[in-house]
Chain A
């Protein structure tokens, strides 16, 4: 069938099963927006900033497991999108981002709104394309979806010059991709798997170290099965919260800089780390020379470049967590003796009793940890939780009772402030029957607050709980600990009226200073089913604890901070 390049883009999206696109139009992409106007195969949500469009597509992808799609124009439209693309790249989230570009004849002439999009995005995309002719457009779109969602997922950019979207041609959408240079391996080497299984059976203190890869390969159920079969305790990284379920007795918690005591001690004392889809991030390992000194390491990762990058690995296995774990489980099934690890589990239980995750509640001022726990009590598994970046993110990761994969959505790798709200909009669009709550701070929320307008217009009822300490709290915490309380540029005492701000944009605002007010506000927010800002005033100088100072050994945690 003959159609324009712009129509081909729409037809390809429909063929890929896309139902929601987040974007923002502009000169170079107008032909595509004209084609969007004429179709009814998918919905387009107009965010109020390109960064938010990409974060929304990202949140959609994380909540649903499908490929998220964002659309932006050339030049500043694209550069605004870069932070969103980089955020998805660092956390391996499957996205297809379509950007307009100036016409082919203008490329290289410093034309109006021209920027080298493939050049800028090369280090923060899994792959990118500048479309050079109409003939290759359908193939490139097909490849983009395949590359984004296969192997180690990631964002793919397709930069489409304006003249190509106007040109007419025959549209034949390929059924299959043929990329001879790209063959991700899922299976895992059988011999290596067998050796790893033997190591598990010989180990006395094995530990499951679970990362975001478990969620990306939809292996949550398999991991629980494996843990229950072997009775091996587990830690979940920031990206992996929810895999085991908060009430699973085998779950120790989160390891790393703000990990709990028993998780970090387990990492330090284990004799066998079974790393599934995790990448030994510096925020997890602490000082490398002191990290897991007594342990052999099994590293299962779909990306060979992750293996041996940070730590030396004894049992490298390249493959998807799901495939490899299935084989491991069947090999262990009638041979593993869970009692073997009983003394180890007892040690860890004692560690947990010694220093449980805790905070001191107050009758005078709201504590952020209480707020998070309270949300957990009131909505628990009925919610999807997103967060921005900072103290509130760590408290949410520590204190929310996560129940399943894809319930917890945050920017773990890049740490992008402003991620939470638009990601929550995407998640709500993807999973409309869940309450979506964004834990944010008085710093982060302002970085994408314009999305109040989008959420109001499209009736996307995201509940933003602003844990407001009138500080850039995490930086303030470091200044307290390591910079002699010189609070350089972190005091946010000057603030907007958050309640009025939300109302001005068509949402609801709540000012909350007591537990009673909080309960009432949350109940009302859920009932009203509209976007809201809940301005929750919390204790100003609360710190995230435990804390392993940057570069320190995991077992040296600051467990409390007494102000001198």
Chain B
């Protein structure tokens, strides 16, 4: 069976150890996590997890079922029709060409979010694939540090 990349959203109670339950399930059953983000859902006692994983259809089905089985899980959303975005922060030395970096960020709907004596920080939010292109294009300006935020997604 063919491996596919899948974005799975989990709505679960916002209580201690829920993150451990979710990530422990992946570790214990040998599923793979490419990225995982968690944040509370406003005006509720719930959290939303966005998990990017890989596996064949059978594995993806088991992941969904096992996530659903957790007592703290309200809902698991696993479908093709997701709008997904990821954020990245990149720190450059101030010795690099600021205007070139600015131009590169513009091409990816991003910008410079902080500029200090020694470094500047750029931010871009886009689809994961585009974030990868951005990171590779940024290599020529000798990035000091790259921080990816992980995927967040919402159903269309």
Contact = CB atoms under 8 A, between A and B. Distances in A.
A126 B71 contact: yes
A377 B101 CA distance: 88
B68 A304 contact: yes
B57 to A, nearest CB: 10
B21 A305 contact: no
Nearest to B68: A304
B109 interface: no
Contact of A179 (B12, B28, B71): B71
B20 A147 contact: no
B71 A305 contact: no
A122 B20 contact: yes
A118 B17 CA distance: 9
Contacts, number: 37
B83 interface: no
A118 B19 CA distance: 13
Contact of B74 (A118, A126, A130, A180): A180
Given A132-B16, A305-B65, A305-B66, A123 B72 contact: no
Nearest to A118: B17
B71 A130 contact: no
Q: Give chain A's interface residue range (CB within 8 Å of chain B).
A: 10 to 19
Contacts of A147: 71
A175 interface: no
Given A119-B20, A122-B21, A127 B69 contact: no
A181 interface: yes
B25 to A, nearest CB: 8
Interface in A114-168: 118-119, 122-123, 126-127, 130, 132, 147
A308 B71 contact: no
A308 B61 contact: yes
Of the candidates A123, A130, A179, the one having the most CB atoms from chain B within 10 angstroms of its own CB is A123
Contacts of A180: 74
Interface string A236-248: 0000000000000
A180 B15 CA distance: 14
Interface in B45-94: 58, 61-62, 65-66, 68-69, 71-74
Contacts of B69: 303-305
B24 interface: yes
Nearest to B28: A123
A515 to B, nearest CB: 49
Nearest to A152: B69
A180 B62 CA distance: 22
A309 interface: yes
Of the candidates B13, B24, B28, B71, the one having the most CB atoms from chain A within 10 angstroms of its own CB is B71
B20 A304 contact: no
Given A123-B28, A305-B62, A182 B17 contact: no
B29 to A, nearest CB: 9
27 contacts: A118-B17, A119-B17, A119-B20, A122-B20, A122-B21, A122-B24, A123-B24, A126-B71, A127-B71, A130-B16, A179-B71, A180-B74, A181-B12, A181-B13, A181-B71, A181-B73, A303-B69, A304-B65, A304-B68, A304-B69, A305-B62, A305-B65, A305-B66, A305-B68, A308-B58, A308-B61, A309-B65
Which 6 residue pairs are nearest across A and B when measured between Cβ atoms? A305-B65, A127-B71, A181-B74, A123-B28, A182-B71, A305-B69
Interface of A: 118-119, 122-123, 126-127, 130, 132, 147, 179-182, 303-305, 308-309
Given A118-B17, A309-B62, 13 more contacts: A122-B20, A123-B24, A123-B28, A130-B16, A132-B16, A180-B74, A181-B13, A181-B73, A181-B74, A305-B62, A305-B65, A305-B66, A305-B69
